[in-house]
A and B are shown apart, each in its own frame.
Chain A
Amino acid sequence: MTPKEQGFLEDVQAGGQVETTDWMPEDYRAKLIKFIEMHGNSELMGVLPEREWILRAPTLQRKLALTAKVQDEVGHSQLIYRVVEDLGKPREQCFDDLISGKSKFHNVFHYPTKTWGDVGVIAWLVDAAAIISQKALLKCSYAPYARIMKKICWEESFHILHGRDVILTMMNGTDEQRELVQEALNRWWGPLMQFHGNPIPREDDPMYVWRIKSQGNEEARQQFLDGYVPQIWELGLTVPDPKLRKRDDEGVWEYTEPDWDELKHVVTGHGPKTADRLDLRRRARENSAWVRSVVLADAA
């Protein structure tokens, strides 16, 4: 590392923030692009499991709420790809790399949604896990990304309410509805525990070293467990992990080791719905190509 790069590193570690036009080390730029692009991909791919339920939503109110949430998430991906573009990677290149499987998206968006219970668990707990990571990005060393996170976190706060409302409605319903929620929780618990990544010390995580993230993976997972396990338990739901408990002495949650092999397998493009969803994404892009060409031709 050159003295200039070292000085930059010390500055971001002391809380300094960087703007688009500032000088930055190439390694920092590359890490930013990788991290932010994956976030954009996840927002875009994350709407597909929910989109599947717009036509099957149980009431008109739920259909409208779900449609609005899908619109919000796609809007987030647009803001995020804009930040990636300013760092030097064009949006079209991001789409190419997503569809070809070269770039990644979050593990939770590679799984099927079997029932309306899954839609509730995704909107409540998957969004809760995501908002913990996203709130930590409000302090990102790259200021343009930190600024758009304000809007994104604000919109995610309604999504959690929407999800919790879906779950509470079902838990106040019939035995069959309650069963659907428990089954969905059982399906999603594994991926939720993998969501924040393996518990490497934050000092060994390059994304933390450059202060792109402001917390370690295990810190985020502990925060998730602390915030949401009591909310799950109070509804009479069972978390499918017999080892899960909070140690009284240190306030740390113990749990069964998440399946890190599954995480790796899924995010490298081998999840149960990876191929279907990427194919849908590819077809959507092809089908909307004429709109882009008309808009751009008209402006030219």
Chain B
Amino acid sequence: MIYEVFRQERKGQPFQHAGSIEAPDDHFADVYAREQYGRRGESAALWIVPRAAVLEIDEFVDELDRNYHRVDGYSLKAKLKEARERAGTAAAAPDS
């Protein structure tokens, strides 16, 4: 069976994919993962996951181009300039 190994370098950091191992069962997977990724104290923790249990999503379709829930949906520069002019504060305002 193939297991994917994710390692955390220090407590609090994200787990990152390190590699995969092949083992006949969970017990051997534990031993092999320790040998490959924990032998020198280089990992705070490991996640060992059977590859078959990983659900992968790699397509993120946005048919409606919904920019209102992203920062690039809000370009304020021109509007801010106009608002400052109307308020009479354009001269004193910083660049942005």
How far apart are B37's CB and chain A's nearest CB, in angstroms? 7
What is the interface residue range for chain B against chain A? 10 to 19
A75 with B56: CB separation less than 8 A: no
Give chain B's interface secondary structure class.
mixed
- Residues on the A chain within 8 Å of B2, using CB: 86
Give chain A's interface secondary structure class.
helix
A295 with B24: CB separation less than 8 A: yes
A75 CB contact (under 8 Å) in B18, B25, B35: B35
Is B49 part of the binding interface, using a Cβ–Cβ cutoff of 8 Å? no
Binary CB contact string for chain A from 266 to 300 against chain B (1 if under 8 A, 0 otherwise): 00000000000000000000000000000110111
Known: A295-B24, A299-B28. A151 touches B37 (CB 8 A): yes
28 A-B pairs whose Cβ atoms sit less than 8 Å apart in the complex:
A21-B56, A21-B58, A75-B35, A78-B21, A79-B19, A79-B36, A82-B19, A82-B20, A82-B21, A82-B22, A83-B19, A85-B22, A91-B22, A144-B19, A144-B20, A147-B17, A147-B19, A148-B19, A151-B19, A151-B36, A151-B37, A295-B24, A295-B28, A296-B24, A299-B24, A299-B25, A299-B28, A300-B24
Interface of B toward A, CB cutoff 8 Å: 2, 17-22, 24-25, 28, 35-37, 42, 56, 58
Interface of A toward B, CB cutoff 8 Å: 21, 75, 78-79, 82-83, 85-86, 91, 144, 147-148, 150-151, 154, 295-296, 298-300
